[in-house]
Amino acid sequence: MTATTDTTSHDAVLVGTHGVSERDVISVARENARVVLTNEALTAIARTRVVIDGLALADRPVYGVSTGFGALATKHIPQHLRGQLQRSLIRSHAAGTGAEVEREVVRAMMLLRLATLASGRTGVRPVVAETYAALLNAGLTPVVHEFGSLGCSGDLSPLAHVAIVLTGEGNVRDADGVLLDAATALERHGITPLELVEKEGLALINGTDGMLGQLVLALNDLDHLVKAADVAAAMSVEGLLGTDRVFAADLQALRPQIGQALSAANISRLLRGSAIVASHAGPEDKRVQDAYSLRCAPQVAGAVRDTIVHARTVASRELQSTIDNPVVTIDDRVESNGNFHGAPIGYVLDFLAIAVADLASISERRTDRFLDVARSHGLPPFLADNPGVDSGHMIAQYTQASIVSELKRLAVPASVDSIPSSAMQEDHVSMGWNAARKLRRSLDGLSRVLAVEILTAARGIDLRAPLAPSPATGRVIDALRAEVAGPGTDRFLSPEIEASVALLQQRVFVESAEQETGPLV
């Protein structure tokens, strides 16, 4: 088993009694950082275990210690069957089905459950938390399935698929992605399977860790995607001969929305020094104002930013929370509670999906303007080399439209639904896990829509030669041209779209622009 003292390398994540940070989640989930339980956490865990051991010997029924679960909470369990009670709980609740959940999601979920164990409020033994940490540090990822959580009583099924691995059952993937049975994997890494005792099975599964982990990952992705949206918008303004005057700080200050001001400032910096913009900035330009999809880009991308801020506020509170039922309180009471209900997380996951759909929608509208000869201000139809013989980017917009339509469907809230379970004991649930799963699909769709806009805008800007783009957008086009050729006759378009998607998702476009602008916000 791995060491759990405080003497570790600087890149390890310390898990103590007061939760973890958003940065900690990203480090463990995406960067494979090691986790270390602090001595403070191990002491707190041991202390509250004494409380549970005392209740296990008492006559009065205690949920999770000497009773059944859910609608079976009135069933008293004799002492000699309580170990079996915990094993049976994990086996029966590991009931997921469908595709495997992504490794980063499972690792985020595991860190968050470990953080709750480390709070000292769950009543498990220290060895449970130590074994959980060892599993993460070994790079072993339990196989968790897409379907199974209602987001109330926590993410029961996904967490049970992790917990069953701790007992030597179930399946894992190792650090190389190889599928192994849990018993073999634990043995190879010197991890002793757990024999669960009173309260421990329940403590391993009664949390909102799956939906919260996915929220944190989504926020990290969105921090980048809103910047990428500003890059795409700036390129479209430039390529469509739009004006940068509407992004002026004094105009934005007339409506003091914080996100809007940040987005407008980004676009202004991205367009600074553009010969294309300067070419039509004088009184000879007879157009009074640009279309909404250009002029209102900061209002939409800014509202997305403000939504992110709200979601991050909810996430930051959850990251400092202890979610279990029952919990051991500071004064050693063992109390049932409803903190496992995923409503706070589910709501903001759904809110973000709405914002994502709208950000993609305005991006698609800008792309479409490039392709319509009546609205593109002198560009060839569909940006084609020989219109009629060539179709240019005509069908790239179809691809965007298909994705945007799907994003609108995914924007329908999951959290307004509830299906009662457990013989009506659990009669209102959050569906927060479902909200998280659809948001992940939404984020992938948004990145593809923005990548197509950048691909199309770059072609439009190239067709404005000899006028030069701004230094920042020029850097973006250079990064794209390293992978995708410039305007010409029709080529196999799908690989070019995928190359643009990869560059966007790998954050190359934003980083290229920032070489000229400095950090975007």
What domains, with CATH codes, occur in the chain? 13-207 (1.10.275.10), 221-328+336-517 (1.20.200.10)
Q: How much is the pTM?
A: 0.95
Tokens, residue 162 = 């992790």
Would you say 395 and 309 are in contact if contact means Cβ atoms under 8 Å apart?
no
Kindly indicate the confidence band of residue 8, based on its pLDDT and cuts at 50, 70 and 90: very low
pLDDT band at 2 (very low <50, low <70, confident <90, very high): very low
Provide CB contacts within 8 A for 335, sequence distance 6+.
326, 327, 329
User: What pLDDT does 68 receive?
Assistant: 79
Pairwise CA distance, residues 237 & 271, whole Å = 9
Residue 357 has what pLDDT? 98
Mean pLDDT of 380-391: 98
Q: pLDDT tens across 363-373, in order? A: 999 999 999 99
* pLDDT of 7: 36
User: What is the percentage of the chain residues whose pLDDT exceeds 90?
Assistant: 86
| Mean pLDDT to the nearest integer, 182-190 | 98
Average pLDDT over residues 90-119: 97
Tokens of 44: 């707190």
- Which among 52, 214, 45 has a CA at the least distance from the CA of 132? 45
pLDDT at 1: 36
Residue with tokens 């105009």: 251
Please give the torsion angle defined by the CA atoms of residues 297, 300, 302 and 304, in that order, rounded to the nearest 10 degrees.
-140
pLDDT of 6 reads 40
Question: Cα angle at 225 between 223 and 226, to 5 degrees?
Answer: 75
Q: What is the CA radius of gyration of the chain?
A: 27
- Kindly report which listed range (79-83, 257-261, 491-495) carries the lowest average pLDDT score: 79-83
Of 115-129, 145-159, 167-181, 380-394, least confident by mean pLDDT is 145-159
> Could you report the per-residue pLDDT of 113-158, keeping only the tens digit for each?
999 999 999 999 999 999 999 999 999 999 999 999 998 888 999 9
| Chain centroid offset of residue 426 CA | 27
Mean pLDDT confidence for 225-245: 98
User: Is residue 214 over pLDDT 50?
Assistant: yes
Indicate the burial class of 404 (C-beta count within 10 angstroms; 0-12, 13-18, 19 or more).
buried
Asked whether 290 and 243 are in contact (CB, 8 A), the reply is: yes
Model pLDDT, residue 294: 98
Tokens of 328: 């051991």
CA 158 to chain centre: 17
pLDDT digit string, tens, across residues 462-514: 999 999 999 999 999 999 999 999 999 999 999 999 999 999 999 999 999 99
Q: Which of 171, 170, 173, 165 is nearest to 191 (CA)?
A: 165
What's the confidence (pLDDT) of residue 4? 39
pLDDT at 428: 84
Residue type, 146: E
**pLDDT score for 377:** 95
- The pair phi, psi for residue 143, each rounded to 5°, is -75, 115
pLDDT at position 72: 76
Mean pLDDT of the chain: 94
Question: What 3-state class would DSSP assign to 244?
Answer: coil
What is the structure's pLDDT at 9?
Answer: 42
- Which of the residues are catalytic? 63
* Residue 90, helix vs strand vs coil: helix
- Match 């602008």 to its residue by tokens: 517
CA distance linking residue 246 with residue 290, whole number of Å: 9
At residue 77, the pLDDT reads 81
Three-state SS at 501: helix
Q: In the chain, what percentage of residues exceed pLDDT 70?
A: 98
Residue 203 is encoded by which pair of tokens? 């403590």
